[in-house]
A and B are shown apart, each in its own frame.
Chain A
Amino acid sequence: MADRFRGVPFVAKRLLGAALVLLVLATVLYALFYLVPGDPAQLACGERCSPAQVAQVRGQLGLDESAHAQYLHFLQGLFAGRDYSSGTSVQHCAAPCLGLSRQNDQQVTTLILAGLPATASLAFGAMVVWLTLGVGTGLLSALRRGGATERVLTVLTLAGTGTPVFILGLLLMMAVCAYLQWLPFPSYVPLTQDAEQWAWNMLLPWLTLGLFESAKYARLTRSSTLEVLAEDHIRTFRAYGVSERAVVTRHALRGALPPVIALSAIDLGSMMGGAMLTEQLFGIPGLGRLLIDSVRSVDLPVVVGVVLVIGTAVVVANAVADVLYALADRRVVLS
């Protein structure tokens, strides 16, 4: 009897586990507040604040409470939302409240939601590039094994892995925008504003990140294809006169792709937290830039928030990867 596919209970179980992991992560990050040197109130207020003003800020941020009480408030904000009073007005921060930015009193969730579309645009677009380019080159070099094609591709992928992403991006930008002048220097345009401009402006960032990642995918695809091609069942279909193309596309590829899918899901997950170098290089206002800026200004609530988003994305992507893996290879038992 064919095993019934147990995807839904598996995902439910995984998400529950993920919630626990994230809670632990949040707690550890929260502890960082107290480990970072310096007075948070002084940092938030600025160097020229008088002691009275610092005390006022401390009160607004709730830093005059005990660490214990602050933690409970933090959790309360996370699950139920909380209110912040800034002397005269009261600001309500809804359910997954990650606090207020110390720089500009904006809610961290607002800042994250503002950065997410740019980051998602970059990550998904880059994934399309690395899947087509990476898997394509990997397959090609596996099938042309020992030939000149493979040697050329091996050198190219090695060069790709060895080139830092910012060098690659700079070179691309210099070549395409400055020298050839095929594209203007990219500046981010939201998808909702103008889809065509969005795509043209994202083209270089996609290529940069996608090319950089595709070297890794080419190597993975190549090795896992070669592994599957050496397996006995491939020999069976060859011995039954099945054409080489059908052997590769129907049998070898199916065995070779699951690890690629799994890695893609994880990479995509971690990129949701922002591909920092690429975002910085092309001036994309995504989560990566937000994270860098907030680290620079010791804006801890924002740092904690972005890291939590990265954590969530990685955990969810992992669960999705496991389900995809099990769908592709039914011998895998989800448990």
Chain B
Amino acid sequence: MTPQPNGPTPDSAPVPVADTATGPTGDRAAGALIDVRGLTVDFPAGDESVRAVDGLSFRLSAGQALGIVGESGSGKSTVAAALLGLHHGTGARVSGSVEVDGIDVQAASVRELRRLRGGTAAMVFQDPLSSLDPYMAIGDQIAEVHRTHAPHVSRREARRHAVTVLDRVGIPDAARRSRSRPHEFSGGMRQRALIAMALACEPRVLVADEPTTALDVTVQAQILDLLHELRTETGMGLVLVSHDLGVVAGNVDDMLVMRNGRAVEHGPVGTVLAAPREAYTRELLAAVPRVETPRTPVATAGAVPASAPASGGDLLLEAVGVRREFGRGKNRTVAVDGVSLSVAQGETLGIVGESGSGKTTLGRMLVRLLEPSGGSVRHQGRELTGIRSDLQMVFQDPVSSLNPRRSVGESVADPLRAAGALTDAEITRRVRELLERVGLDPRWYHRYPHEFSGGQRQRVGIARALAPGPRLIVCDEPVSALDVTTRAQVLDLLAQLQRDLGLALVLIAHDLAVVRQASDRVAVMRRGVVVEEGPSDRVYDAPRDPYTKSLLAAVPVLDPVEAAARRAARGSVGALLGTAAG
């Protein structure tokens, strides 16, 4: 919890908002902590080179926060790496100037760079598991980094300091846990440990590259709150790189939107989000699913009344008390613990939950890819005993769920061949129809998965699921690997297919906004159990279960003022409940 009273401004850092309102090009004090001018980064690729960053300029004053947003490939992470001179010796060509705390990163000697890294600007990485040394105790790693920047400190003192910073970032029982290795920490605790490593050197600016992307929404909120709290307490600057506009909105003063290596728009976060000047920013904002917006009534335009709850007549699939256990003996875990659900024809049931809640296991049992350990799944009133062609699945990762050695047409044709009812010519014709139906050119039949973008590959996955003519498709995180604009397109495609074909969908996702945008009814899962189920609008607007409430409260919002208010509310709840499991 922040020690000072929470004002209406998103941030209580000493820099006045009016100053930032003059725009990023406005002449701020000469004491800019970070000054980037015309930064251009080229990566050699064969004989040519790829320009990742193209003439980017920005400044950051001490104690300020800058958000850099963009879709994958926009160059935002390259900018973050350039701030610490991480391109030295990698073959990348960097031009323009990068100055951090008066050090010219381009011209700096190895010694100066080492002092800069960690001492002046510390980096927090995306994946906290792979970013820590798996062979070493966490406390030792932090102590090592600390001693790098404070050579006079003894080994023992450094170790004590590591415990202090671990304690500071909210690791319970820090002295004992400092002896743990990274794999013994949960995702949230690992990210806290990485932040503790950054804190150990008392840097002037923290560069956080997608610090919460690998985390669940409630843990994400805790980490973002921690970053905010540390910033107000220590007055360090923050560069927050994220693909998620919501993450950036509540945590920065200025915002920089990047696309193809260039700055599209740059200004105070409130202005950019409320009144974007550039078309691309508007497009990006429009594509962000909002957890507070009810579903657009596209599906009701079809023949089937979509928002009607599953009633006896059009009941398609029903799960009654299904259970699933993994492992034996001491290692036994219950992934799904007695879940009852029903899906009516033509409706969309959303299943939300954090990682490990059992939602994927449940989804696989619904199409019988997994056999339940207990309970039953009924299809139109009859017990489901094996895989059926009218129950299909679309998988999360469009890269690994397609065979890289088969053309996409062949992949889509596989289920038709397996059915054995059609001749080769008929199969080819049908595959071309399906490709067209999901918005792909039928002439791409003979192309291979690596030739397609992420969104296109997911369309192939959808075409493959459609091939046997299913009545229901379980979509397991169908858009979580996609950029926000692509995500919106794939969700639109699913809605359209549902309308045209009267399909029932089960949409499994960790993203609450995605589920709301696309579902008639929602089930919220936690630790293998459905804690709340009901029509989407009811669950989202008037949640009854405390877990649903905490999930919804943790969703990042696009309005900086609202974000600050929510953070304050979370702070007080957190103080009451004690630290939640991180």
B44 CB to closest chain A CB (Å) equals 13
Most A CB within 10 A of own CB, among B114, B131, B135, B183 = B135
Within 8 A of A (CB), among B64-101: 84, 86
With A250-B144, A330-B135: A241-B181 Cβ-Cβ less than 8 Å: no
Chain A proximity mask over B222-264: 1 for CB below 8 Å, otherwise 0: 0000000000000000000000000000000000000000000
Cα–Cα distance between A246 and B140 once the two chains are bound (Å): 13
- Per-residue B-contact encoding for A233-259, CB less than 8 Å = 1, 0 else: 101111111110010001100110000
Which residues of B, 167-188, contact A by the 8 Å Cβ criterion? 176, 179-181, 183-184
Closest Cβ–Cβ distance, residue B110 to chain A (whole Å): 8
Chain A residue contacts of B183, Cβ below 8 A: 330-331
Given A241-B114, A241-B119, A236 and B184 touching (CB < 8 A)?
no
For B545, the chain A residues whose CB sits under 8 A away are none
A236-B115 contact in complex given A2-B180, A241-B148, A251-B136, C-beta closer than 8 Å? no
Q: Is B123 an interface residue (CB 8 A)?
A: yes
Is residue A47 within 8 Å, beta carbon to beta carbon, of the partner chain? no
In the complex, which range does the number of interface residues on chain B fall in? 20 to 34
B180 contacts A240, C-beta separation under 8 Å? no
Within 8 A of A (CB), among B130-144: 130-137, 144
- How far in angstroms is the closest Cβ of chain A from B154? 17
Residue of A nearest to B122 (CB): A240
* Contact of B364 with A by CB under 8 A: no
Taken together as a complex, chains A and B put the C-alpha atoms of A238 and B116 apart, in Å, by: 11
Q: Is B130 in contact with A233, judged by CB distance below 8 angstroms?
A: yes
Tell me whether A232 and B131 are in contact (CB under 8 A). yes
What residues on B are CB-neighbors of A235 within 8 Å?
Answer: 86, 125, 131
Task: Tell me whether B117 is interfacial, beta carbon within 8 Å.
Answer: yes
A242-B184 in contact given A233-B133, A236-B131, A254-B136 (Cβ < 8 Å): no
Are B184 and A241 within 8 A (Cβ)? Answer: no
A236 touches B135 (CB 8 A): no
Q: Does A231 contact B (CB under 8 A)?
A: yes
Q: Shortest CB–CB separation between residue B95 and chain A, in angstroms?
A: 22
CB A48 to nearest CB in B, in angstroms, measures 66
B301 to chain A, nearest CB (A): 47
Q: Given A2-B184, A236-B131 in contact, is the A241-B125 Cβ separation under 8 Å?
A: no
Once A241-B115, A241-B117, A330-B135 are accepted as A-B contacts, the answer to whether A232 and B148 lie under 8 Å apart by CB is no
Contact A233 B149 (CB under 8 A): no
User: Is B197 positioned at the interface, with any CB of A under 8 Å from its CB?
Assistant: yes
Answer yes or no: B118 CB below 8 A from chain A CBs: yes
Q: Are A231 and B130 in contact (CB under 8 A)?
A: yes
Q: How far apart are the CA atoms of A1 and B177 in the complex, in Å?
A: 7
B139 CB, nearest partner CB in chain A, Å? 11
Inter-chain CA distance A136–B289, complex, in Å, is 55
Task: List A contacts of B497 (CB < 8 A).
Answer: none
Distance from B394 Cβ to chain A, minimum over Cβ atoms (Å): 30
- In the assembled complex, the Cα of A240 lies from the Cα of B132 at a distance in Å of 12
Cross-interface CB contact of B148 among A243, A254, A331, cutoff 8 Å: A243
Determine whether the beta carbon of A242 is less than 8 Å from that of B131: no
Could you say which residues of chain B place their CB within 8 Å of the CB of A240?
A: 117-118, 122-123, 145, 148, 197, 201
CB-based nearest B residue for A232: B130
Flag whether A329 is at the interface (Cβ < 8 A).
yes
A237 & B133 in contact (Cβ 8 Å cutoff): yes
> How far is A322 from B77 in the complex, measured between Cα atoms in Å?
39
Query: What chain A residues lie within 8 Å of B180 (beta carbons)?
Result: 1-2
| Contact, CB under 8 Å: A3 / B184 | yes
User: B522 within 8 Å of A by Cβ?
Assistant: no
A238, A240, A246, A250 interface centre (most CB from chain B within 10 Å)? A240
By CB atoms of chain B within 10 A, which of A3, A236, A241 has the most? A241
Instruction: Flag whether B127 is at the interface (Cβ < 8 A).
Output: yes
B525 at the interface (CB under 8 A from A): no
Cβ proximity bits B40-81 to A, threshold 8 Å, 1 near / 0 not: 000000000000000000000000000000000000000000
Most buried by B among A232, A233, A242, A254: A233
Report the minimum CB–CB distance from A232 to chain B (whole Å): 4
Contact (Cβ within 8 A) B135 A242: no
Q: Report how far A236 CA is from B133 CA in the complex, Å.
A: 9
B123 touches A242 (CB 8 A): no
A28 within 8 A of B: no
Q: How far is the CA of A254 from the CA of B134 in the complex (A)?
A: 10
Does B113 interact with chain A (Cβ within 8 Å)?
A: yes
Looking at the complex, which one of B127, B130, B133, B149 makes contact with A241 (CB distance below 8 Å)?
A: B149
| CA–CA, A237 and B143, complex, Å | 12
Question: Does B116 contact A241, Cβ atoms closer than 8 Å?
Answer: yes
Which residue of chain B has the shortest Cβ distance to A250 in the bound complex?
B144
Q: Closest CB-CB distance, A36 to chain B, in whole Å? A: 46
Interface pair A1/B176, CB less than 8 Å apart:
yes
B181 touches A330 (CB 8 A): yes
User: Inside 8 A of B176's CB, which chain A residues have their CB?
Assistant: 1
User: How many Å from the CB of A288 to the closest CB on chain B?
Assistant: 37
Closest to A146 in B: B91
For A329, list chain B residues within 8 Å (CB). Answer: 134-135
User: In whole angstroms, what is the CA distance A235 to B130 when docked?
Assistant: 10
Q: Chain A nearest CB: distance from B111 CB in Å?
A: 9
Cβ–Cβ < 8 Å partners of A295 in chain B? none
Q: Shortest beta-carbon distance, A167 to chain B, in Å?
A: 40
A241 to B151, CA, bound (A): 12
Shortest B158–chain A CB gap in Å is 13
Q: What's the Cα separation between A130 and B305 when bound, in Å?
A: 75
Given contacts A233-B132, A240-B197, 5 further A-B contacts (CB under 8 A): A3-B184, A233-B131, A239-B86, A241-B114, A241-B115
Please name 24 pairs of A and B residues whose Cβ atoms are closer than 8 Å in the assembled complex, sorted by A.
A1-B176, A1-B180, A2-B184, A3-B184, A231-B130, A232-B125, A232-B130, A233-B130, A233-B133, A235-B125, A235-B131, A236-B133, A239-B84, A240-B118, A240-B145, A240-B148, A241-B114, A241-B148, A243-B114, A246-B144, A246-B148, A251-B136, A255-B134, A330-B183
Q: Which 7 A-B pairs have the closest CB atoms?
A: A240-B118, A241-B117, A241-B114, A232-B130, A241-B118, A240-B145, A239-B123
Q: Which residues of B contact A (CB under 8 A)?
A: 84, 86, 113-119, 122-123, 125, 127, 130-137, 144-145, 148-149, 176, 179-181, 183-184, 194, 197, 201
Q: State the A residues within 8 Å of B (CB).
A: 1-3, 231-233, 235-243, 246, 250-251, 254-255, 328-331
